[in-house]
Amino acid sequence: MTESTPFYVDRAKVGRASCKGCKAHCESGQLRIAKLVASPYGENQQMKSWHHVNCLMNVLLKQRPTTKRIDSIDDIGNWDNISKEDQEYILKEINQMEKIYADKYNGKYTAKVIKNEHTQTEIKSPNVSLNDEIKVETEDDKFSTFFTLCKKISKVDAYTEKTAVVNNFFTNGCNGKKFNGDLVLWCKFLLPQVSKRIYNLKSKQLVKLFARIFNTDHDDMLTHLENGDVADTLQHFFKKSNTYKPATESSLTLQTVDDFLHELSKLTKEDEQIYHFKKIIKKCTVDDLKMLIRLIKGDLRINAGPKHILEGVHPDAYSVFQTSRDLDMVLERVLPQSSEVKHKDAIHKNVQAKLSIMTPVLPMLAEACKSVEMAMKKCPNGMFSEIKYDGERVQVHKKGNEFKYFSRALKPVMAHKVSHFKDYLPQAFPKGVDLILDAEVLMVDLKTGKPLPFGTLGIHKQSEFKDAGVCLYIFDCLYYNGEILIDMPIKKRRQILHDNMVEIKNHVMFSEQELIYKPSDLANMIAKVLQLGLEGLVLKDLESTYDPGKRHWLKVKKDYLFDGAMADTADLIVLGAWFGTGKKGGMMSVFLMGCLDKFRNKWVTVTKVHTGHDDSTLERLQKELSPLMVKISQDSNKVPNWLDCKKGMIPDFVAVDPKKQPVWEITGTELTKANLHTADGISVRFPRVTRIRDDKNWETATNLEELKHLYKTSKEKTDVSLLNKLAATADDYVPPEKKPKPSPKKAKNKTSPVSNTLEKCFAKYTQKKEKSPVNEHNTKNNADDDSDKTDIEDTSSIKEDIKPKLFPDNPLPDVFLNKRLGFYPDFISIPEKERFHFERHWIAYGGIVNKSLKNIDVDYVVHNNNKIEFGKMVKLKRRLPPDVRHVTKSWLIKCINWVKLCDTKNYTVIVEPLQ
């Protein structure tokens, strides 16, 4: 290398050198380019300052015009030894850099011709900048046409109607005869969420930039932003701006806007971004700016996704897209090869999906499985039952010595979670050159080999676990050494995996699985997994293929079973709220839930929830909560003293008085630990509002001590007694083809297997109460022949400290034995389905229900309301024994959920004095 080549290019060999621009490593095999700089180790010596190609272009872009740049390909050493594709890529980047440079100096700077005698390749500076007048070649490529089409798509609701609008435009164009626009660019614009460009411009940052551009009050713009749409906010202030007046007619094209967005994605400094926006805003109408911002945000607000748009382009385009999320590749396959043809007339027919290595594949998903019967129907050929790991889904691509890792959302996985796998995967697959694997990555205890809890993969969390490491649990193989496997049944894919993979302990492992054919075996497996505190199971039909993006697998979790009866719940107080976005903009739609820490007399945060309310309920809550809330706009200085809240959880609104706030029942997958919250770190995973508890106030809501108890018990043991009964009836399942066709009347009354199990249990206990004395109850249960056959099998092989017998001979504990329950008339007025739910659980756990209070033989009287008039109570006491306890419905719910007879202290009905 000599001074005549101030730059040098090659592919990284080892991967130790770091890019001087972004400071990240130049990975082994990655294309890089060096600038020669003076070496500090010797006079007249030079050293290579390595950069990623785009990083070097950014460095050159910031230099003064007089500073040396790449004037000719002869300036780049080792040029002839790199591939043609690499040469074309570098030339393209240089061209883009020169284009920006020319525009930066108002078109006065002319880029030099970059020419090489051998390659005869030329790159010239652009003839058109954003400051030049745009000549529109076709009406179909106008940016205003794009706005019009988006408006049409948003006005129709049905999926078929949206697809028809897209198809009609791409067929007939603006003139009604033929589409003459750039179809590839149109698809990219209509699907901005698929774009790989990253702008790093959130709503508040955009407001900050445009407050300077429009010379407008920043606080006023933030107030308007509370309506939830930053594009509307910027459009509103653009109309009022005295600094920049909106254009009366749009002259922008899709190509101009695409170039603008491409350059914007490279800018990181505010001044550079403002300068760049100012160049295009001069030509924007108010509608142009609105759509431009929505493209940046990746949300056009047209309620249309890839399925709507791509099926409007080609019938097979969406199925191809599901296999490969690379939009360029999809369009290349469905469109003709000739670049001269841009319209829809010549699209390929019957295009088949094709998997491509190093391009992420949409992962196959699982739907919720609510019963054993549902699983047997969905998997009639038998199934693999796999442990559902509580980690992060990862798709691994290996091409020679190059590795890529994609998340469930098909984004690159952070390096600290996966970087070391490149050392172990070649050992695990000694003959595997090219691979695509579906896997789960999670932390494991290196001493015991047991997985650690969800959330421990973070870089800071990893440092807290010195005796733990990151492990890859592999459960599927989609591609192996040039062979696409997704059309093979899973039993064959799994066999290929086992034939070609060697486990590396605590680093690369097979996922645990069992072969299931019988309903009782599945019920046993579910019970084992939940008893061990694992998240659940994933069930896969043995003959199923890998269908990208489809929910053809099944997932079993405790909150899916028995209509959510096994889910973790807590009654929490509404402490604050945030503004929503989109159609919920300007409304309180995300709520901060918490509880009282009695020891400190402080209210602590538990979770934030935004699901569970329908639109009408949400609208009603605005009126009910507004008088109870005060706006603090996430200002930490305005957080009241009674609230213990971390910075990331400061809401837009906070309660005036937490003791006057409503109580909501929050249900989630599990109680978990989250450092964002102050309730001793306890939070709710996947929270949703299941009920508004009008019968409760701040005193009877869950407090911190009770929440700690709930968390402890949920982690120590899972009450799976109902699963034992489910296993007992599982063998009664008859495959669909053997079932007689039910009559129309019976079909209407069909219930789930979970409901059937409880019905049988309820009927069984009712029958025993009628036929035999109470003291014979246990004897008959223990003598029941079926109980021995259906007890869930021993789990000692899974966990040593678990007793050989998971459950008692009695399938349901007699926690309410001999306890007689009566209902006050206001309770009988509640929906029959809800009342029957309470009755059957009380009886199933050994209790007795007297539906009429004419029979005075009761121990508890349940009221729907927590108050009763004095006169009514006097009349009631005349008919009842003096030791009868009058309790609220909340007490009954707590007893059933906790499977024990709870204290009535905080659930006693209040007698209102005479006026």
Query: For 822-852, how does the pLDDT look when each residue is reduced to its tens digit (9 = 90+)?
Result: 887 766 667 776 777 788 888 888 888 876 6
> Among 560-564, 628-632, 761-765, which range has the highest average pLDDT?
628-632
Mean pLDDT of the region 70-95: 83
390-400+417-510 CATH: 3.30.470.30
pLDDT tops 50 at residue 511: yes
pTM, entire model = 0.59
| Per-domain boundaries in the chain | 7-104, 390-400+417-510, 567-716, 820-912
Contact 439, 396 (CB under 8 A): yes
CATH superfamily entry for domain 7-104: Zinc finger, PARP-type (3.30.1740.10)
- What is the structure's pLDDT at 738? 45
Mean pLDDT of the region 453-465: 54
Question: Between residues 44 and 785, which one has the greater pLDDT?
Answer: 44
Q: pLDDT-based confidence at 764, cuts 50/70/90? A: very low
Burial of 152 (0-12, 13-18, 19+ CB in 10 A): middle
Q: Which two tokens stand for residue 317?
A: 């385009």
Q: Mean pLDDT of all residues in the chain?
A: 80
pLDDT tops 90 at residue 30: no
- What is the structure's pLDDT at 770? 42
Q: pLDDT-based confidence at 70, cuts 50/70/90? A: confident
- What is the structure's pLDDT at 854? 60
- What is the structure's pLDDT at 590? 95
Q: Which two tokens stand for residue 890?
A: 């909340």
Contact 567, 669 (CB under 8 A): yes
Mean pLDDT of the region 10-39: 82
- The tens digit of pLDDT for each residue in 172-185 reads 999 888 898 888 89
- The tens digit of pLDDT for each residue in 632-669 reads 989 999 999 999 999 889 999 999 999 999 999 999 88
Q: pLDDT-based confidence at 352, cuts 50/70/90? A: low
- What is the structure's pLDDT at 852? 64
- The tens digit of pLDDT for each residue in 480-499 reads 999 999 999 999 999 999 99
Q: Which helix (H) or strand (E) holds 300?
A: none
- What is the structure's pLDDT at 167? 92
Judging by DSSP bridges, how do beta strands 508-510 and 468-480 pair with one another? parallel
- What is the structure's pLDDT at 120? 41
Mean pLDDT of the region 231-255: 92
Mean pLDDT of the region 325-333: 79
Distance CA 24, CA 37 (A): 20
- What is the structure's pLDDT at 730? 57
Judging by DSSP bridges, how do beta strands 602-609 and 670-673 pair with one another? unpaired
- The tens digit of pLDDT for each residue in 551-569 reads 999 999 888 877 676 678 8
- What is the structure's pLDDT at 27? 80
| Dihedral sign (CA 438, 449, 413, 403) | negative
Q: Which CATH architecture has domain 820-912?
A: 3-Layer(aba) Sandwich (3.40)
- The tens digit of pLDDT for each residue in 670-686 reads 888 878 899 999 999 88
Mean pLDDT of the region 505-514: 91
Percent of the chain whose pLDDT exceeds 90: 36
Q: pLDDT-based confidence at 858, cuts 50/70/90? A: confident
pLDDT tops 70 at residue 802: no
pLDDT tops 90 at residue 452: no
Question: Between residues 294 and 111, which one has the greater pLDDT?
Answer: 294
Q: pLDDT-based confidence at 345, cuts 50/70/90? A: very low
Distance CA 425, CA 403 (A): 10
Q: pLDDT-based confidence at 92, cuts 50/70/90? A: confident
Q: Say which residues have a Cβ less than 8 Å from residue 345's Cβ, sequence separation at least 6.
A: 178
Judging by DSSP bridges, how do beta strands 820-823 and 536-541 pair with one another? unpaired
Amino acid at 819: K
- What is the structure's pLDDT at 778? 40
Mean pLDDT of the region 162-190: 91
pLDDT tops 60 at residue 3: no
Distance CA 663, CA 407 (A): 37
Output b/e per residue, 325-339; b: 16+ Cβ within 10 A.
bbbebbbebbbeeee
- The tens digit of pLDDT for each residue in 771-786 reads 433 344 443 343 344 4
Question: Between residues 854 and 127, which one has the greater pLDDT?
Answer: 854
Which has the closest alpha carbon to 584: 544, 611, 550?
A: 611
Distance CA 898, CA 320 (A): 50
388 among known catalytic residues: yes
pLDDT tops 90 at residue 703: yes
Q: Which two tokens stand for residue 239?
A: 């109309």
- What is the structure's pLDDT at 803? 36
pLDDT tops 50 at residue 59: yes
Q: Count the residues in the chain.
A: 915
- Choice among 283, 297, 342, 388 that is catalytic: 388
Judging by DSSP bridges, how do beta strands 682-685 and 670-673 pair with one another? antiparallel
Which has the closest alpha carbon to 549: 766, 355, 702?
A: 355
Question: Between residues 43 and 705, which one has the greater pLDDT?
Answer: 705
- The tens digit of pLDDT for each residue in 381-436 reads 999 999 888 788 999 999 999 999 999 888 888 888 888 899 999 999 999 999 99
- For the ranges 115-119, 206-210, 601-605, the lowest mean pLDDT is seen at 115-119
pLDDT tops 70 at residue 593: yes
- For the ranges 104-118, 133-147, 820-834, the lowest mean pLDDT is seen at 104-118
- For the ranges 101-110, 302-311, 447-456, 617-626, the lowest mean pLDDT is seen at 101-110
- What is the structure's pLDDT at 463? 52
- The tens digit of pLDDT for each residue in 578-592 reads 998 877 888 899 999
Contact 572, 604 (CB under 8 A): no
Fold adopted by 567-716? OB fold (Dihydrolipoamide Acetyltransferase, E2P) (2.40.50)
- What is the structure's pLDDT at 813? 73
Percent of the chain whose pLDDT exceeds 70: 79
Residue 102 to residues 96, 107, 125, 214, 255: CA-CA distances in angstroms?
Answer: 10, 5, 7, 26, 18
Residue 774 to residues 17, 804, 902: CA-CA distances in angstroms?
Answer: 80, 30, 22
- What is the structure's pLDDT at 754? 34
Q: pLDDT-based confidence at 2, cuts 50/70/90? A: very low
pLDDT tops 80 at residue 159: yes
